[in-house]
Structure 1
Amino acid sequence: MSVNGIPHQVITSVQTRKETEPIYFLPYERTPGLKLDNVLIVGAGTGTDVAIALSQGARHVDAVEIDPEIYRLGQQLNPERPYRDPRVSVHIDDGRAFVQRTDQRYNLVIFALPDSLTLVSGQSSLRLESYLFTREAMSRVRGLLQPDGVFGMYNFYRASWLVDRLATTLQVVYGRPPCVESVGNFGHEALFLAGQSPTAVVCPSTWKATTRFTQPATDNEPFLYLKQRGIPALYLKTLLAILAVALLAVWLYAGRLRRGRQYADLFFMGAAFLLLETKSVVQFALLFGTTWLVNALVFAGVLLAVLGAVEVSRRVTFRRPGWLYLWLLIALGISWAVPPDTLLRFGPPLRFAVAVTLAGTPIFLANLAFAQRFKDVATSATAFGLNLLGAILGGALEYSALVVGYRALALFAAALYGLAFLFGRRHLRRGVPARG
């Protein structure tokens, strides 16, 4: 089975898998005597990992798979029929979201090759599984383990520094080096095991770093596959090329840029708004999972905030629009001051309400300020062109998160709105009678 044109999974029987890829069985062989009353498998795929757990004596398995089509194929084609076994509970959900939400305790938790081969959205640098491998996620998984419980994960790791990063993360969480075994040479297939107890895993050899120390990924910087903090050269070249083409297009079709100096504030508004949108996508991905439904709800919320601001501006003209910037900066400050992971302690309804408030308030106020400004422009084509160019800059600035993390985007947006206020002061000082 291929995903996005890339070979992804092969459906086989348990016996065939044992003969061809014994690494799938090592979590059970390295934990003799471990009771398998309750097992969690994240990245259940077409069901082979679930079938293996059942063959090893698991009494109950929670199988988490984010893609309903992959689950459907496994249900129909897997020769072991694991998804039809009464001992299996299937959850079509994001792995991190399930881990945060469940109150179950497990004897064994396995991350079974969770590799999405795709991004969450063009609005961010996240992959679907990014939040599964952060320090905070691993800490949460440890909290789900029984006193004798064990965590394991296996995948193909094509770089030794990536193995070291994951092993370092487990060492930080469990307080001791994990058991790391490599099986075969192709693709660096490796297994990580870490137990609540130091004696929970029979380990042939504990992990020792082979590369320079690599920091664990975090919820603020969930870039597992970024070797060093920074923006890759390929990204920089591509972004500069996009900005150059956009600048040329605006210069040609929206009037010469000198004519647009009076609309510099709209340029900064465009850049700041794209950062707000990106931050919202990333924050909701952490809080509710990296599913397409969550992304759709985020974008729907952004559009509703835009529509609401437009409708308010159509009916009301503010005497002192400068106050909108003050309230906007306060909202951004609150959004930055509240770490997203603190919201994970709340139940889903309260978490959703708080998240919508924290993310939606700045977006609504930003669009209210924009709508108040744009309805007074003399040359709408030039003004919109500058705003569009700013939006492209904001899309490029999103990649600064690779250096400073996603929380800092709120500060960048605040700085850009501050510049918009400074460059638009002449407009803001004009007294306009309020109308309703």
Structure 2
Amino acid sequence: MKLTGTGQKFHPVRWRLLLASATMLFVELALIRWAGANVVHLSYFSNFVLLGSFLGVGIGFLIPATRGQWIVRWAPVPLAVLVVLVRAFPVQVRQSSQQIIYFTSVKTTGFPEWVTLPVIFLLTAVIMTAIGKITADLFRRLPSLDAYRYDLLGSLTGSASFALLSWLRAPSVVWGVLAAAALLVLGGRRNILRYSVPLTAMVAALFVETTTVGISWSPYYKIQVTPLSPTVPEYTISANGVPHQAIVPLSVLMQAGSPYRQAYDETPANPHKRVLVIGAGNGNDVAVALAHGAQRVDAVEIDPRLQQIGAQLHPAKPYGDPRVHVHINDGRAFLERTHAKYDLVVLALPDSLTLVAGASNLRLESYLFTHQAFEAARDHLTPHGAFAMYNYYRTSWLVDRFAGSLNAIYRHAPCATTFATNAAVLVAGMTPADQSCKQIWRPSGAVPAAAGDDHPFPYLLHRDIPTLYLGVLGGILLVTLVAVRLTGVQIRSTLRYTDMFLMGAAFMLLETKNVIGFALYFGTTWLVNALVFIGVLLAVLGAVEVRRRLRRVNLPALQLLLFGTLATAWLVPAHVVLALPFPGRLAAAIALAFAPIFCANLIFSDRLALAPDPVSAFGANLLGALTGGVLEYLALVTGYQALLLVVALLYLGACIIMRFTGRRPDAQSTSAPDGMVTVHNQ
């Protein structure tokens, strides 16, 4: 059998390489989701597992073909150990820092992060080293570009498969069964008994988790519903092991002093006929809006499972009311697309407790708390409408930040009612006459600057990198250097591939910037995130296909094109793209995001194909990619748009080095693992 258009027989090595690459990416994505759901530290360090995965894949490729077969023989063991350990010792986050990019009102117990994070990072690296070694051994048996294209096709398969499981809300045991089946195939007959024992233990642990009463999975969380009473329809809903929401009867929600009714009490002249609830969750706020006479309620909830639970269990049955219109969408995306006007817009407890996969600092609700988002909400109010937001804020400066932003937008101080140490409700009418405050906001001190779309970190007081993050990232770099050195690669020998180092760092930052951009333009939903990663892989695959068909590459022209696309992406502000209608916004986002990726990967593929020492070149590229993951935290200081300047400087340095060192083709480079950095850094 021949593959159409290639003229090459599709033999078993290609199939196995495709499966190995798909397994590698599938396991990586599954570890990010599953470990973060059980060890809440990882919900706020999503790229921690990512970088551990990338380190492991790189080491797997750096190990010579004649060495490291013991890793292949025992490949499933570290995976089973990680799953069993995490199931036996789940960890909840304990908030103690005032300078960190998340908040929670829940104090929990468990191992401290300085114990948990290194163990999970190292186990992840070992897991991915084993799978990476299997993939690398198959990779070496094919010409480099041919192997690379099937590696990319496998990555696409793994990414699409996990996206499909997320859409189906498949439980963790399904992920484990698929990963186990793939590993059994890759291990072959020689390892079937050796693989069966640890894989069975892993699947058994996941089966116990899946069959626990009340547990289900959404595209974002592991959700557990717990009844509070056998007679009263009250429930707590935990997301990723943290108490997140509660379903309570309407009579409780409507009690005097309840934060749920505060927005209505402080806007007595408002008719409350049309209400928008962002963060509708299980339906508490929707039920309260209906009780106050709303004729139409638009209920926006990003998580379909949370809405489904509310539809099934809420005693007031708010989602069954014909006046309620449910929108499973990102709140900011809904505001950008709708043209409706509302008497009241409620931002109801939108604390996601998780981060956007692949973007280490962006949370699901980050773009709801920016100055531009508050302006978008105001633009959807009727002339005498009102905006309300409430949550359990952990510090007074966070209340001041949000209230100060509302004060600037509405040009008068909002109502600010506190209910407990960390609970506050902010209500702002279009005019002072449109609100009736029990307490008016007065700052407790210096008012922090508002978060913005370019710097969407409302929980970060100052523009700096918290000490905790600096320590963790420094540890990652140290472990990386030691691990690469232990593979036998002489770090000094990679210095001639400094350009490859810089390109690896630049690509990591470029990919992160694209994830962030699409989250702003189209929402922080799992679907948008999955489509961006698939788009990145398709752009890389397109670059490889073009390079395979070119005898030579006009490198100076290609470099100029790369810098031109980066300059365009930097010069076009986000608000211009947001102002476009949906088709135009989509076209602009795709062009701005994927044109630089395509050009960069043409340059990368050409450079690596001509490298005299592909292993050292790839080692340098690996270190660069990990460094790029660390450099992403610069956005906490500079904002995301400035990352494009960092990307341009890194590529400029690489181009200058290429100019002076030259490119010398080497006949042996056809077996080089070209471009793996562009596949597994998602």
TM-score range, shorter chain: over 0.9
Match of 2:314 in 1: 78
Q: 1:364 to 1:29 in 2, by over 3 A?
A: same
Greater alpha carbon shift after TM alignment, 74-83 vs 258-267: 258-267
Residue 533 of structure 2 is aligned to residue 299 of structure 1: yes
- Separation of aligned partners in 2, 1:294 and 1:23: 33
Match of 1:98 in 2: 334
Greater alpha carbon shift after TM alignment, 314-323 vs 358-367: 314-323
List alignment gaps of at least 5 residues for structure 1. Answer: none
Match of 2:655 in 1: 421
Q: What does the per-residue CA deviation read over 1:60-116, in whole Å, with 9 as the maximum and x for residues that have no partner? A: 100000000001100000011100100000000000000111000000000011110
Match of 2:271 in 1: 35
Match of 1:214 in 2: 448
1:60 corresponds to which of 286, 296, 300: 296
Match of 2:474 in 1: 240
| Partner SS state of residue 10, structure 1 | strand
- Separation of aligned partners in 1, 2:487 and 2:586: 42
Q: Is the 8 A contact 1:43 1:112 kept in 2?
A: yes
| One-letter amino acid of the counterpart of residue 360, structure 1 | F
Matches within 5 A, 1:165-176: 165-176=401-412
Match of 1:262 in 2: 496
Q: Is the 8 A contact 2:253 2:261 kept in 1?
A: no
Match of 2:601 in 1: 367
| Partner SS state of residue 9, structure 1 | strand
Q: What does the per-residue CA deviation read over 1:348-400, in whole Å, with 9 as the maximum and x for residues that have no partner? A: 11101110000000011000100010101122211111101000000000000
Matches within 5 A, 1:193-208: 193-208=427-442
Q: Is the 8 A contact 1:320 1:431 kept in 2?
A: no
Report how far residue 427 of structure 1 moved.
5.3
Q: What does the per-residue CA deviation read over 1:326-368, in whole Å, with 9 as the maximum and x for residues that have no partner? A: 1111111110111112111111111011100000000110001
Greater alpha carbon shift after TM alignment, 16-25 vs 284-293: 16-25
Q: Is the 8 A contact 1:321 1:428 kept in 2?
A: no
Q: Is the 8 A contact 2:612 2:664 kept in 1?
A: no
| One-letter amino acid of the counterpart of residue 118, structure 1 | T
Q: What does the per-residue CA deviation read over 1:267-304, in whole Å, with 9 as the maximum and x for residues that have no partner? A: 00000000000000000000000000000000001101
Greater alpha carbon shift after TM alignment, 45-54 vs 259-268: 259-268
Matches within 5 A, 1:145-160: 145-160=381-396
1:108 corresponds to which of 344, 353, 356: 344
2:376 corresponds to which of 140, 143, 155: 140
Number of equivalent positions: 430
- Separation of aligned partners in 2, 1:420 and 1:377: 14
- Separation of aligned partners in 1, 2:272 and 2:385: 9
Residue 548 of structure 2 is aligned to residue 314 of structure 1: yes
2:520 corresponds to which of 273, 282, 286: 286
| Partner SS state of residue 367, structure 1 | helix
Match of 2:91 in 1: none
- Separation of aligned partners in 1, 2:252 and 2:322: 23
| One-letter amino acid of the counterpart of residue 124, structure 1 | S
State the TM-score, normalized to the length of structure 1: 0.96
Q: 1:210 to 1:181 in 2, by over 3 A?
A: same
Match of 2:110 in 1: none
Match of 1:26 in 2: 262
- Separation of aligned partners in 2, 1:64 and 1:48: 13
- Separation of aligned partners in 1, 2:485 and 2:420: 57
Residue 602 of structure 2 is aligned to residue 329 of structure 1: no
- Separation of aligned partners in 1, 2:490 and 2:659: 22
Q: Is the 8 A contact 2:333 2:522 kept in 1?
A: yes
- Separation of aligned partners in 1, 2:557 and 2:661: 13
Q: Is the 8 A contact 1:254 1:381 kept in 2?
A: no
Greater alpha carbon shift after TM alignment, 365-374 vs 201-210: 201-210
Q: Is the 8 A contact 1:246 1:389 kept in 2?
A: yes
- Separation of aligned partners in 2, 1:296 and 1:53: 34
Match of 2:459 in 1: 225
Residue 467 of structure 2 is aligned to residue 250 of structure 1: no
Q: What does the per-residue CA deviation read over 1:123-169, in whole Å, with 9 as the maximum and x for residues that have no partner? A: 33011000001000111111100001000011111100100000111
| Partner SS state of residue 109, structure 1 | strand
| One-letter amino acid of the counterpart of residue 554, structure 2 | R
- Separation of aligned partners in 2, 1:410 and 1:193: 37
- Separation of aligned partners in 2, 1:333 and 1:244: 34
| One-letter amino acid of the counterpart of residue 504, structure 2 | G
| One-letter amino acid of the counterpart of residue 594, structure 2 | G
- Separation of aligned partners in 1, 2:527 and 2:334: 15
Match of 2:573 in 1: 339
| One-letter amino acid of the counterpart of residue 348, structure 1 | F
Q: 1:207 to 1:428 in 2, by over 3 A?
A: same
Report how far residue 428 of structure 1 moved.
4.6
- Separation of aligned partners in 2, 1:98 and 1:292: 15
Match of 2:143 in 1: none
List alignment gaps of at least 5 residues for structure 2. Answer: 1-236, 667-682
Report how far residue 47 of structure 1 moved.
0.5
Residue 360 of structure 2 is aligned to residue 121 of structure 1: no
Kindly, what percent of the aligned residue pairs are identical?
Answer: 50
Q: 1:429 to 1:9 in 2, by over 3 A?
A: closer
- Separation of aligned partners in 1, 2:327 and 2:553: 53
